Structure 1
Amino acid sequence: MDPKPTPTAGPGPNVGPGPNAGPGPNAGPGPEVLRCRGLRKEFGGQVVLDGLDLTVAEHQVVALIGASGSGKSTLLRCVNLLEELHDGTIELDGEEISAPGIDPDKVRRRIGMVFQSYNLFPHLSVLDNVTLAPRRVHRRSRAEAETRARELLDRVGLAAKADAYPDRLSGGQQQRVAIVRALANSPRLLLLDEVTSALDPELVGEVLTMIRDLKAEGMTMVLATHEMGFAREVADQVCFLDAGRVVESGPPEQVLAHPTQPRTRQFLARIIEANRL
């Protein structure tokens, strides 16, 4: 079973968090950034996460794959403290962020999350969407926040759209703005939840190019994706989730081309039949 690589969309702009953000494209995994142990989450009595374990090192890109309902999005939402766990622990840089009494807003200042839908405020310009959290949450001055926002927008080719409103942008542009908004806070960890699933096929490439550039800059990322070729290209580790557990994990070449678990092989066979791998 040999997945086809995603076609390269081009080198793209430099979109990482800046010159001081990391050691660059040749950096290997660093210290542990995220540790999830025994995560359990239920909705209405249905188990969605069932004792899930996950570890992510600095500068590492981890791709979560699996069928719809396998727990990928729920895992990301739990890490960002948007869902309350029923059991288990989550640590960020060695600090347990799932402990009782933790202020979720302080935790989210260190985590950026981009959703399937762009979630931009339609009544705010692109610039105001990007600067809202830095100004209101991080208490940065408007001038400082706007300087940072314009720098990031310029690096992704959207400088001319700073004063535009979301309904004047294509889907790909809106998703790139959503990623820029997450980067504006210089997050320690970036979570990406099926960020291309709502896009027309011709717009997917520009978003994937942006994620490639983030990897090259050393951004630590966990991404849930159905783009198997892209996962193979960009991820350092691929985790196959099924029924709320990590059934198999390892380097992309091993998991996607030579899976050891029958359930992983079954899932990938269906992907190949659908011409998505």
Structure 2
Amino acid sequence: MLLEIKDVRKAFGDQVILDGLDLGVAEHEVVALIGASGSGKSTLLRCVNLLTEIDDGTIHLDGEEISDPRIDPDAVRRRIGLVFQSYNLFPHMTVLENITLAPVRVHRRPAKEAEAQARQWLERVGLADKAGSYPDRLSGGQQQRAAIVRALVNSPRLLLLDEVTSALDPELVGEVLTMIRDLKGEGVTMVLATHEMGFAKQVADRVAFLDGGRVLEQGPPEQVLGDPVEARTRQFLARIIEAGRL
């Protein structure tokens, strides 16, 4: 397994968010996390990226325990890309400057090399003509694609996507989902938290339903989303269908 999460627990005060959660992700696999708000999806992604410290359990990446307090979190984050639902692009920097900031400042790569790679990625996602634009001149879908490129430019072993379409207008969702589908075709390992059940069904190799801070049910999309075993999963999906989101 590329990523192994074992018996991970996290609480904020008296509120238990992750309650002995187990999950494994193989290389080149795409795993979609689904579940109601507050089920622990975003917290889990933040724990994997070491933005949130776990209370108990272990997280391994490529066989290395990255949850060990002695580990250098910055070194780990160089191997993991994380994209939030809010794009988090620096407004005073152009798209190209946003994308090359970490490779040049943090990873000490030559500026010309970082810029060349950034332009290659922008070309691939249809943003080559936006390299010199500032974020406020881009649509939401374009900003989110730029944010994903920023996470990919360092060639991470693992890409984490946290509700990356939830802040977008409906007509802009498709362009971001197309990009993620293309990344899957290129073998990028991804864990994505999503409310887009139709998309999870199309792109995920496996769907994991989180409830009460645990993975209650997981399996192929057609099984979990089409014929779930657990009553709680069926209840959740019934509400999704009622809302017209599946």
Q: Tell me whether the two structures share a fold, i.e. TM-score over 0.5.
A: yes
Q: What's the secondary structure of 1:148's corresponding residue? A: helix
In the alignment, is residue 190 of structure 1 matched against residue 194 of structure 2?
no
Q: Counterpart of 2:55? A: 86
CA distance in 1, matches of 2:227, 2:29: 21
1:199-214 equivalences in 2 (<5 Å): 199-214=168-183
1:249-268 equivalences in 2 (<5 Å): 249-268=218-237
Q: 1:137, CA displacement in angstroms? A: 1.4
CA distance in 2, matches of 1:115, 1:201: 18
CA distance in 1, matches of 2:113, 2:77: 20
Q: Counterpart of 2:75? A: 106
CA distance in 1, matches of 2:45, 2:201: 20
CA distance in 2, matches of 1:85, 1:76: 11
Aligned residues: CA RMSD = 0.4
1:70-149 equivalences in 2 (<5 Å): 70-149=39-118
In the alignment, is residue 218 of structure 1 matched against residue 187 of structure 2?
yes
CA distance in 2, matches of 1:77, 1:212: 23
Q: What's the secondary structure of 1:211's corresponding residue? A: helix
In the alignment, is residue 33 of structure 1 matched against residue 2 of structure 2?
yes
CA distance in 1, matches of 2:199, 2:234: 18
In the alignment, is residue 172 of structure 1 matched against residue 141 of structure 2?
yes
Q: What's the secondary structure of 2:225's corresponding residue? A: helix
Q: What's the secondary structure of 1:157's corresponding residue? A: coil
Q: Counterpart of 1:181? A: 150
Of all paired residues, the percent bearing the same amino acid is 78
**Which protein has greater RCO, CA pairs closer than 8 Å, 6+ apart?**
1
Q: Counterpart of 1:47? A: 16
**5+ unaligned residues in a row in structure 2: which ranges?**
none
CA distance in 2, matches of 1:136, 1:104: 17
CA distance in 1, matches of 2:186, 2:214: 30
Q: Counterpart of 1:241? A: 210
Q: 1:60, CA displacement in angstroms? A: 0.2
Q: Counterpart of 2:244? A: 275
In the alignment, is residue 150 of structure 1 matched against residue 150 of structure 2?
no
Q: Could you give the per-residue CA deviations for residues 111-139 of structure 1, whole angstroms, max 9, x where no partner exists? A: 00000100000011000000001011111
Q: Could you give the per-residue CA deviations for residues 69-108 of structure 1, whole angstroms, max 9, x where no partner exists? A: 0000000000000000000100000000000210100000
CA distance in 1, matches of 2:227, 2:48: 29
Q: 1:227, CA displacement in angstroms? A: 0.4
TM-score scaled to structure 2, two decimals? 0.99
CA distance in 1, matches of 2:123, 2:69: 41
CA distance in 2, matches of 1:90, 1:74: 14
Q: 1:243, CA displacement in angstroms? A: 1.1
Q: Could you give the per-residue CA deviations for residues 187-229 of structure 1, whole angstroms, max 9, x where no partner exists? A: 0000000000000000000000000000000000000000001
Alignment-mate amino acid for residue 209 of structure 1:
T
In the alignment, is residue 57 of structure 1 matched against residue 26 of structure 2?
yes
Structure 1 runs of 4+ with >4 Å offset: none
**5+ unaligned residues in a row in structure 1: which ranges?**
1-31
CA distance in 2, matches of 1:133, 1:112: 12
Aligned length: 246
CA distance in 2, matches of 1:56, 1:84: 20
In the alignment, is residue 68 of structure 1 matched against residue 40 of structure 2?
no
CA distance in 2, matches of 1:45, 1:78: 18
